[in-house]
Amino acid sequence: MSTLPSRLSVVTLGARDTGALRSFYRSLGWTELPSSDDGWSAFLLGGVLLALYPLPDLAAEAAPGVPDPAGGWSGVTLATIVDSREQVDTAFAEAVAAGAVVVAEPTDRPWGGRSGYFADPEGNRWEIAWAGTARFDERGALLAFG
């Protein structure tokens, strides 16, 4: 039996401009932890912490000796699953109004759901999705999918 729990607790984005990212996520209406500043910032999302950490500091810890990545897409997407098909479009529009860059407009997907993609000010990709099989607890933490 493993001592490593099967859970995701924190997603950390290495930020090139922590202040701009903090401002963007606050513009989405997300509540920032009181201890946040430009040296480390975090938002509690459902049951997962979204942390923003200056890229050079994160690289020193997580990738010592590896050259800093170029700007643009990292090959990783983050997703927020909403409660209804219609909410995909309204949540997507709110993200764009807060300064997100449209990557792919919301559309019905072959797997039966609906989703669209946007990029935050540093190119991190977010998917806003609805999946009829997703189930959440009272905090918004994902309990089941599929």
Q: Which helix (H) or strand (E) holds 23?
A: helix 18-27
pLDDT value of residue 23:
97
- Residue 1 inside a domain? The answer is no
Counting the structural domains of the chain, the total is 1
Domain of 62?
Answer: 10-144
Taking the mean position of all CA atoms in its chain, how far away is CA 99?
15
> CATH code at 61?
3.10.180.10
pLDDT value of residue 4:
75
Q: What angle do CA 52, 138, 104 make, to 5 degrees?
A: 50
pLDDT tens per residue across all 146 residues of the chain: 678 777 888 999 999 999 999 999 999 999 999 999 999 999 999 889 999 999 889 988 888 888 877 766 677 899 999 999 999 999 999 999 999 999 999 999 998 999 999 999 998 999 999 999 998 888 888 888 87
140 phi, psi to nearest 5 deg: 95, 5
pLDDT value of residue 1:
67
Q: Give the side-chain half-sphere CA count within 13 A for 104.
A: 13
| Cβ–Cβ < 8 Å for 32, 98 | no
Integer Cα distance of 35 and 50 in angstroms: 14
- Residue 51 inside a domain? The answer is yes
Q: What angle do CA 129, 72, 65 make, to 5 degrees?
A: 120
Integer Cα distance of 30 and 121 in angstroms: 16
- Residue 4 inside a domain? The answer is no
